[in-house]
């Protein structure tokens, strides 16, 4: 046999041997790849589980924030209602105050008018009474003067008569 045939046979054997070993290498590589895939899969699974837990926590936080916002909204709504009530109460108080002031002004005006009428009537009555008193005093004075004049006249007549009688007696 020739050396070239030997080399060919040797090369063929090496190729056959390589081909026989190659599937075992592939299987070993496949096992390595399988282990890597399992590790990656496990890592991805852990990451997904952690992400799920994180998302669940975020969801709980969002739910809690939503509840807090809902409570804040209710508080704001209640505060708005309270402010509305205060506004209505203030408006009612102002209306009542205005009505009370208007009533007081009307009552004061009526009182002043009545007082002026009463004062006018009292003044008129006082003037009338004073006039009547002066008239009565004048009449009384006139009557007293007349009575005094009558008395003086009567007394003078009586004195004159007495003196006449005394003169007659003394003569």
pLDDT in tens, 132-160: 999 989 999 998 899 888 898 888 888 88
What pLDDT is attached to residue 99? 95
Say whether pLDDT at 28 is over 80.
no
Domain ranges across the chain: 1-10+23-170
What pLDDT is attached to residue 163? 87
CA distances from 88 to 46, 80, 99, 123 (A): 62, 12, 16, 51
What pLDDT is attached to residue 94? 95
Say whether pLDDT at 79 is over 90.
yes
* CA pair distance 140, 133, nearest whole angstrom: 10
Q: Which of 107, 17, 5, 14 is nearest to 25 (CA)?
A: 17
* Backbone conformation region of residue 2, classed left if phi is above 0, alpha if psi is from -120 to 50, else beta: beta
What pLDDT is attached to residue 117? 93
């Amino acid at each position: 046999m020739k050396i070239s045939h030997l080399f060919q046979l040797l090369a063929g054997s090496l190729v056959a041997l390589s081909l026989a070993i190659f599937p075992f290498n592939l299987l070993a590589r496949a096992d390595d790849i399988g282990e890597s895939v399992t590790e990656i899969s496990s890592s991805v699974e852990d990451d997904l589980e952690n992400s799920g837990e994180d998302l669940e926590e975020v969801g709980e936080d969002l739910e809690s924030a939503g509840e807090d916002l809902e409570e804040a909204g209710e508080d704001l709504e209640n505060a708005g209602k309270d402010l509305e009530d205060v506004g209505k109460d203030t408006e009612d108080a102002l209306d009542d105050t205005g009505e009370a002031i208007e009533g007081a002004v009307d009552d004061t005006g009526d009182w002043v008018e009545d007082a002026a009428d009463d004062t006018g009537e009292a003044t008129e009555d006082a003037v009338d009474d004073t006039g009547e008193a002066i008239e009565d005093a004048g009449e009384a004075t006139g009557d007293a003067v007349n009575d005094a004049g009558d008395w003086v006249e009567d007394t003078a007549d009586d004195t004159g008569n007495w003196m006449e009688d005394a003169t007659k007696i003394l003569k």
